[in-house]
Amino acid sequence: MDSLQDLLGQYSAAQPDEMVAIKRYIFEEFGVPASVGVQGEALVVTVASASLANTLRLRLTALQAAAHTKKRLIFRIG
């Protein structure tokens, strides 16, 4: 029987393409990492500063186009 550590070592969670695209866009444009999560029918984007979150709000359509999604984007500071 496999131990829990062995099972978790073999597990690799594949992220949806839209999450990867949003992370890549933010890193390429601003040079900072971001985390993206799914909450129901929305994508939650967490960034380190309030100014970056506000800038991303202004670029909402560009983010949605880069991710090829029509889902609602929620920006959080964290």
- Res. 10: pLDDT tops 90: no
DSSP line for 6-74: HHHHH--PPPPHHHHHHHHHHHHHHS---EEEEETTEEEEEES-HHHHHHHHHTHHHHHHHHT--SEEE
Note down the domain range covering 71: 33-78
Query: Does 27 map to a domain?
Result: no
16 residue type, one letter: P
Query: Does 43 map to a domain?
Result: yes
Give the whole-angstrom CA distance, residue 65 versus residue 10.
Answer: 34
Query: Does 11 map to a domain?
Result: no
Residue range 20-78, pLDDT digits in tens:
999 999 999 999 999 999 998 999 999 999 999 999 999 999 999 999 999 999 999 99
Higher pLDDT, 10 or 56: 56
Phi/psi of residue 13, nearest 5 degrees: -80, 120
Query: Does 61 map to a domain?
Result: yes
> How many structural domains are present in the chain?
1
Query: Does 28 map to a domain?
Result: no
Query: Does 57 map to a domain?
Result: yes
